Structure 1
Amino acid sequence: MGSEFLLFPTFWVQEYNVESENDLGCIFWVNLDKEIFIVEDSWFCCYVMVRTPLGESLIFPCYRWLCEKEIISVREGSAKRPFDDTLPDFQLHRLNELQERRNLYRWKVWNPGTTKCIKAESEKDLHLDVKYDGERQLDFNKSLNLSMADLFLTRLVNMIENSWDSLESFRRIFCRVKSDVGVYVSNHWMEDWFFGYQCKNGCNPCLVERCREIPKNFPVTNAMVWPSLKGSTLEQEIQKRNIYIIDYKILDGTQGNVISGKQQYVVAPICLLFQDPQNRLMPIAIQLRQQPGPNNPIFLPSDPENLWLLAKIWVRSSDFQLHQVLYHLCATHLLGEVCSVATLRQLPAVHPVFKLLIPHTRYTLEINTRARIDLLGESGIFARVIASGGPGLLSVTQKACQALTYRSMCLPDNLLDRDVEDLKDYFYRDDALLIWSAISKYIKNLMGLYYTSDQNVVEDVELQAWLKDLVQEGLSEIPLYDWPVDFHSREEMNKFLTMVIFICSAQHAAVNNGQYDWSCWVPNTPCTMREPPPTSKAVPSMEEIMDTLPDISQSAVQMAISWHLGRPLPKQISLGTFEEMYFIEPEAIKVQTAFQQELKEIEKRIEERNSGLELKYQYLQPSKIESSISI
């Protein structure tokens, strides 16, 4: 009998007719290999379709590269749990696939006290299956230099230690900015209400929390904040749930970078904020170091304008450091990489959880491998321009990884612990909860097709091995605190899977996509501070503020790298876009379609909300959320 095999390479479709004298019966997998022809020419196979003489079509999802001397064995596309495969041949197929992947994808300790990563010295060591495609690779390699040229920054990079002469002089590199939000920032960054707005809806919306009592190391008195509270007291406003706080204690003790022989400075501020009757979040007290004392004054809005402005700039610079290291690098990129490696090592392609998660691992291993060299390496961007780079980076990263508790990674728990349900106009919270809920519902309905009881979850040895590898290996360098090491129920599994997909898509979008918007006006979010923080209430001159802010070279690099990392990407695959057909069952496809419809409704809801806002919050519109961490 004859069967027709359809192979879908990168740019075209090739059909093969395979004849067999015998009835093939049921076809459970196909083997694919490609011989070298003159030169190595790898092919990318999306899937194989087998059409039998009876008109039946069988789909074998692949989505892998065919390389010389490599045979790929692809199972038929129906999702199978390990206990569904009772025949020895099927069990052996699963074991062989996992053994092959465990040889390809190995754990490595990047830095002691941080999450583990993929064993690769550079992106060249990665298998083709997890690398950028040609278009993405070309775009990434060229975009930083293109941004320097497009923003007219190239000539400024060598102007090391040259200070700007005034705040207005920053507009010399700002004139070609293509960001409506960035322009808005440049016009409002000095205003107190806007400082508070960024704590809610800026590039780092995850630190603000309700203040239940004034910390002992932050001796703010009623007399200090009486003008800001319009005659009320701290005790009264705390009782009314109107007092909030941001605390950068993780940065305490961080050794500042040394750039071109000049010391840079990092502080660990505490900032108190008041939600006023107009629902604005207003800063009312700032202490730049953790330990109170005569050389660590509390700065107030009633202080002279330049002094209060400098205190806020110091907080914003600390926010840049903590945002980049904790909330962006550790809580999305590094944790997403741990999930990606565990998925590749422990779940065969036929497993339903592999099919669920693999779209959310796309390109993560390559971008992180590149980042460890280009951004975090000895000659990377952090070492060149960022205050917490150089010798302080390891200690900050270690402290940040210690903060990766399971509750902090689960959005509803995180918001509950920060007690921010009464925080007004907190668009990140509102939109993130919509996305979390949609993902949770999607996973519950999809996994419900394959796990009909808690016992199914308990007995899935591959699923349990995945969780153990993720937590006990990937997170073995950090305290595990509340991280689960096994699943006892569908509810536990579904929540964990929701967390994984959320951080690999929506959470990354929330802390990544606005980098250029909020950092292109450099004084708003300085990557470094070049003079020590004030130790008294002596009023600084504008020249002294300019000498503290990033120099011309550092400003140019900050603008370019924030554009490079936060820009829209070519061929972006948005959350809910299923270009790769891993699930083939009609019931599963129906669940995916319902998920897509819910995301469209969320998109419409956000757009309607934004239509009435002067400054729109768009980072969590589903169409702007990439389904994986790829930049």
Structure 2
Amino acid sequence: MILFRHFPNFLRRSGDHAGAELVKIKGTVILTKNSLNFNVSFLNRRHAFIGSGVSFQLISSTVADPNLGGKGRVGKVAYLENWSGGLESIDARESRFDVNFEWDLALGIPGAVIVKNNHHKEFYLRSLTLEEDVSGEMRNLNGIIVFDCNSWVYPIEKYDYDRVFFVNNTYLPGDMPATLKGYREDELRNLRGDKVKRQLQEWDRVYGYAYYNDLGEDRPVLGGSLEYPYPRRGRTCRPSIKTGLFQFLLQLLSGIYKKRPDPKSERRESRLPFLKSLDIYVPRDEKFDMVKMSDFLGYALKSVGSAVIPGVTSVLDGTPNEFDSFDDVLGLYDGGIKIPSNDVPLKMVRELLRSDGEQLFKFPTPQVIQDCKSAWRSDEEFGREMLAGLNPVIISRLEVFPPVSQLGKTKYGDQTSKITGAHIAKFLDGMSVEDAIGMNKLYILNHHDTLLPYLNRINSTGNKIYATRTLLFLKSDGTLKPIAIELGLPHPDGDIHGFVSEVFTPKEGGVEGTRWQLAKAYAAVNDSGVHQLISHWLNTHAVIEPFVIATNRRLSVVHPIHKLLNPHYRDTMNINALARQILINAGGILEITVFPGKYAMEMSSAVYKSWKLTDHALPTDLLKRGVAVKDPDSESNVKLLIDDYPYAVDGLAIWNAIEEWAKEYCNIYYPSDAVVKNDVELQAWWKEVREEGHGDKKNETWWPEMNCVDNLISTSTTLIWISSALHAAVNFGQYAYAGYLPNRPTISRRFMPEPGSPEYAELETNPEGAFLKTITSEIHTILGVSLIEILSKYSSDEVYLGQRASAEWTSDKRAVAAFKKFGEKLEKIESRITAMNSDPTLKNRSGPVNVPYTLLYPSTSDDTKVGGLTGKGIPNSVSM
């Protein structure tokens, strides 16, 4: 059913031509010229002068052309007018243009349009709108027709097919007008590009799959094997790395022989020059737009600048590569780095980076130390951040004491925790351990099983980490108190003998108080690595990319599920490609600044072995971690066991809103399970996600069958949740908490000092210095803080949950009404979050550091649209 809004002045009669009754249709085009490199050359000026630069041809949705195999008849060519200037500038990027069509009334209603670019540079086509005339020449039409295009259109020589755009109607495959089905199928075939084997270029619109074989030739290929399973990334078709005989002989002669790379490894772009290293193929419509790229480069250059001077300065001071005290760390924010007046090289760098004044490259003060410089060290804040910090998705309820391991005993021996009741008895408010467990009072942050198999390799690199178990007690005021931290290492006689460990409990003051602070730091180091590699990268960025690819390959832009999910894919392929180039690659920033080093991505592959999409539905996740129990009387069917759990409380409200929106939307187009089963595009999409995108998981039985409306709703809800709220919760709080690295160190460089050692003596004489020598070094701190400052910033053009980039995303009034209802529910959630953050009885909402929990504040209003380090809002997609 075609639904249009009423709009006057659609048609003007042109008169009959050769028996046809032609009418004039006025069209309005909104587009963006490529301002990064768009120069109006002589040839472009010639096209503009003769009026043939950009052409449009409407396609009939009702009349077939036998010469086109039954596809819709194509109307007369019309040209964009006034290319050089446009009618008006809508904003700094977009302009409005006229195009006037002559349309044969006998062809009925236009349903698609062919667009050709005869210029020599690409442009971004936002939309084409056709307007109605009061005379009602086209009686079947009762409003405007909108083509919501949102695509880069390259010069015609870049394509071997026509660029076709459809009206913003929504059609299941079987409901599409017969005259448009061929165009729909052609478009999907072009996007798959399965026959394209050459290296893909920026104008290619090909979505395909590849392994993670571009991280560096000395890193294992991730994906396609039982040993290293992984989600697929976007295909680029870059040449493979090859070491021929000549290169092999050169290596022998030079004495730098390297192991021959895996033949499946793909050649990487050079990291120099910087901008070239960022030019990695993703389909152009998946790339950052000009505002986002401008923001990204601006943030990157600023942060790189912030790292340059302090990094050089740290080499010049009395203790290179080390902070001498917490005051030294605070100097990064309070005053910046003072450049000596006689330091000519540093002054030259300052001038090159155009920074003003002698106090250079000052970082913004992280929220965790804005109100108080020392509250982060409290046990209460340490526990609170597991519920409302940057990684609130790991903590689980302790159901068995002592904690047990899931590592196989035949290989790793007995890995049962050595924490005893004697260690924790005095911290249980008079309860026994059994009573505390029975009353749901004991919780655990458990990084033992994930890390222990990698400890020997990681600790051989210079980093010194433990496998940690942290036990916490839920107090009567709703806060969590850490009561024991176990630091474990592989048994020196071999894995089969289990492990060795030491247990630390809370102490205040003196050497043992410092050792307790160090024990918390070791646990925080592990949580930082797991957060960045697993909670953030793997469980949002990496697992969503296959869905982005499959959706574009198998679901037409007019398909209802494409319209539902596509906003939640914005920029994901682009940011992932950049990550593979400069962040998670061999020698990349993550390997340098986070403890697993060269084993980081291999470790995330090991965790992916147990990944299940269904586990990441928020209610399922909470139940699996034991922090909630089933409750059929609640809206989400679960009841939290920690009432003041900000991530879970806000998350469940957001989850319920998303689920209600997905349900109302899906029910519009799928009135029965049979419609789901008979949707050929939907079935092809789901098959490809399982067998290609997550191909290493294709034989697992947990995948839901796409055979009913309920499974479609639950899957859509989970995908939207992961892409929006889950990613926001684990990404945009990074600078607030980890911008001050002593609070969230990412590396530990030496083991816990033992009594009698010089390091132990240093704990007595210089506890701050000893602490800082153990955790992330000065230069790594500066580099790490520079990175997370970029990752934590919202773009100024961010599109938030409950918003759409285009008001004309669909012509279906039912979908528009359901989406409006979704936005209204999110506004109520915002008000509720604001009220809870002001409630002094909810101690975990702000904590000792006085940082309100706003990461799951939806931001449907305009108060957060400035971008930057707001720590507030849920973007639609994994966009940073």
What TM-score results when the alignment is normalised by the length of structure 2? 0.68
1:118 corresponds to: 234
Amino acid at match of 2:378: E
Find the partner of 2:569 among 361, 366, 382.
361
1:579 corresponds to: 805
Task: Give the match's secondary structure for 1:18.
Answer: strand
> Which string of whole-angstrom CA distances, capped at 9 and with x for unpartnered residues, describes residues 284-319 of structure 1?
111122768894111111481011111100000000
Amino acid at match of 2:126: C
Change (3 A) 1:137 1:205: same
What is the rounded CA distance, in whole Å, between the counterparts of 2:233 and 2:304 in structure 1? 31
What is the rounded CA distance, in whole Å, between the counterparts of 1:533 and 1:587 in structure 2? 62
Could you tell me whether the CA contact under 8 Å between 2:690 and 2:698 is conserved in 1? no
Task: Give the match's secondary structure for 1:13.
Answer: strand
What is the rounded CA distance, in whole Å, between the counterparts of 1:286 and 1:603 in structure 2? 37
In terms of fraction of residues, the more helix-rich structure is: 1
Could you tell me whether the CA contact under 8 Å between 2:191 and 2:552 is conserved in 1? yes
1:42 corresponds to: 122
Q: Give unpaired runs (5+ residues) of structure 2.
A: 1-21, 33-93, 137-141, 194-205, 213-221, 224-228, 237-267, 269-277, 335-362, 405-415, 492-497, 628-639, 841-845, 860-872
1:74 corresponds to: 165
Amino acid at match of 1:42: E
Query: Is residue 472 of structure 1 aligned with residue 691 of structure 2?
Result: yes
Query: Is residue 253 of structure 1 aligned with residue 453 of structure 2?
Result: yes
What is the rounded CA distance, in whole Å, between the counterparts of 1:21 and 1:591 in structure 2? 36
Worse overlay, 176-185 or 303-312: 176-185
What is the rounded CA distance, in whole Å, between the counterparts of 2:610 and 2:545 in structure 1? 17
> Which string of whole-angstrom CA distances, capped at 9 and with x for unpartnered residues, describes residues 462-499 of structure 1?
11111121122111134764542631211110000000
Displacement, 1:536?
Answer: 7.8
Change (3 A) 1:207 1:184: farther
1:63 corresponds to: 150
Change (3 A) 1:251 1:574: same
> Which string of whole-angstrom CA distances, capped at 9 and with x for unpartnered residues, describes residues 532-558 of structure 1?
356789856124332211111011112
Find the partner of 1:487 among 698, 702, 706.
706
What is the rounded CA distance, in whole Å, between the counterparts of 1:479 and 1:418 in structure 2? 25
The percent of aligned pairs where both chains have the same amino acid is 26
Change (3 A) 1:210 1:135: same
Written as runs of structure 1 = structure 2, the 5 A alignment for 1:544-555 is 544-555=770-781
Change (3 A) 1:186 1:488: farther
What is the rounded CA distance, in whole Å, between the counterparts of 1:258 and 1:223 in structure 2? 32
What is the rounded CA distance, in whole Å, between the counterparts of 1:516 and 1:93 in structure 2? 47
Query: Is residue 296 of structure 1 aligned with residue 501 of structure 2?
Result: yes
Task: Give the match's secondary structure for 2:665.
Answer: helix
Could you tell me whether the CA contact under 8 Å between 1:185 and 1:521 is conserved in 2? no
1:140 corresponds to: 296
What is the rounded CA distance, in whole Å, between the counterparts of 1:241 and 1:536 in structure 2? 37
What is the rounded CA distance, in whole Å, between the counterparts of 1:27 and 1:21 in structure 2? 10
Written as runs of structure 1 = structure 2, the 5 A alignment for 1:598-609 is 598-609=825-836
Displacement, 1:360?
Answer: 0.9
Amino acid at match of 1:462: E
> Which string of whole-angstrom CA distances, capped at 9 and with x for unpartnered residues, describes residues 397-442 of structure 1?
1123223213321111111111212113201000011111101101
Change (3 A) 1:291 1:479: farther
Task: Give the match's secondary structure for 2:482.
Answer: strand
What is the rounded CA distance, in whole Å, between the counterparts of 1:272 and 1:565 in structure 2? 30
Displacement, 1:45?
Answer: 1.5
What is the rounded CA distance, in whole Å, between the counterparts of 2:309 and 2:600 in structure 1? 28
Change (3 A) 1:137 1:314: same
Q: Give unpaired runs (5+ residues) of structure 1.
A: none
Could you tell me whether the CA contact under 8 Å between 2:366 and 2:737 is conserved in 1? no
What is the rounded CA distance, in whole Å, between the counterparts of 1:312 and 1:133 in structure 2? 42
Written as runs of structure 1 = structure 2, the 5 A alignment for 1:355-434 is 355-390=563-598, 392-420=599-627, 421-434=640-653
Written as runs of structure 1 = structure 2, the 5 A alignment for 1:245-324 is 245-248=444-447, 249-254=449-454, 263-289=462-488, 295-302=500-507, 304-324=512-532
What is the rounded CA distance, in whole Å, between the counterparts of 2:372 and 2:605 in structure 1? 32
Amino acid at match of 1:251: L
Could you tell me whether the CA contact under 8 Å between 1:432 and 1:506 is conserved in 2? yes
Displacement, 1:364?
Answer: 0.7
Amino acid at match of 1:189: W
2:388 corresponds to: 201
Task: Give the match's secondary structure for 1:617.
Answer: coil
What is the rounded CA distance, in whole Å, between the counterparts of 1:56 and 1:555 in structure 2? 59
What is the rounded CA distance, in whole Å, between the counterparts of 1:407 and 1:585 in structure 2? 30
> Which string of whole-angstrom CA distances, capped at 9 and with x for unpartnered residues, describes residues 35-86 of structure 1?
11xxx33221122222355274212221111111143211222110012136
Displacement, 1:256?
Answer: 7.9
2:31 corresponds to: 9
Could you tell me whether the CA contact under 8 Å between 2:704 and 2:711 is conserved in 1? no
Displacement, 1:141?
Answer: 1.8
2:379 corresponds to: 192
Change (3 A) 1:256 1:190: farther
What is the rounded CA distance, in whole Å, between the counterparts of 2:814 and 2:97 in structure 1? 30
Could you tell me whether the CA contact under 8 Å between 2:456 and 2:490 is conserved in 1? no
Task: Give the match's secondary structure for 2:390.
Answer: coil
Query: Is residue 596 of structure 1 aligned with residue 845 of structure 2?
Result: no
Could you tell me whether the CA contact under 8 Å between 2:455 and 2:490 is conserved in 1? no
What is the rounded CA distance, in whole Å, between the counterparts of 1:192 and 1:598 in structure 2? 36
2:211 corresponds to: 109
Worse overlay, 261-270 or 597-606: 261-270
Could you tell me whether the CA contact under 8 Å between 2:443 and 2:471 is conserved in 1? yes
Worse overlay, 20-29 or 462-471: 20-29
Worse overlay, 582-591 or 511-520: 582-591
Of structures 1 and 2, the larger Rg is shown by 2
The count of aligned residue pairs is 623
Query: Is residue 611 of structure 1 aligned with residue 861 of structure 2?
Result: no
What is the rounded CA distance, in whole Å, between the counterparts of 1:340 and 1:536 in structure 2? 55
Worse overlay, 49-58 or 277-286: 49-58
Change (3 A) 1:258 1:385: farther
Give RMSD over aligned pairs.
2.3
Change (3 A) 1:165 1:262: farther
> Which string of whole-angstrom CA distances, capped at 9 and with x for unpartnered residues, describes residues 104-163 of structure 1?
0110011231111101366442222111111211221231231354xx543222447622
Find the partner of 2:720 among 478, 494, 501.
501
Amino acid at match of 1:237: A
What is the rounded CA distance, in whole Å, between the counterparts of 1:516 and 1:147 in structure 2? 12
What is the rounded CA distance, in whole Å, between the counterparts of 2:499 and 2:147 in structure 1? 71
What is the rounded CA distance, in whole Å, between the counterparts of 1:270 and 1:527 in structure 2? 17
Amino acid at match of 1:197: R
Query: Is residue 565 of structure 1 aligned with residue 791 of structure 2?
Result: yes
1:19 corresponds to: 102
What is the rounded CA distance, in whole Å, between the counterparts of 1:477 and 1:247 in structure 2? 27
Task: Give the match's secondary structure for 1:345.
Answer: helix
Task: Give the match's secondary structure for 1:174.
Answer: helix
Task: Give the match's secondary structure for 1:403.
Answer: coil
Could you tell me whether the CA contact under 8 Å between 1:237 and 1:243 is conserved in 2? yes
What TM-score results when the alignment is normalised by the length of structure 1? 0.94
> Which string of whole-angstrom CA distances, capped at 9 and with x for unpartnered residues, describes residues 7-45 of structure 1?
211211111111246633121211111111xxx332211
1:331 corresponds to: 539
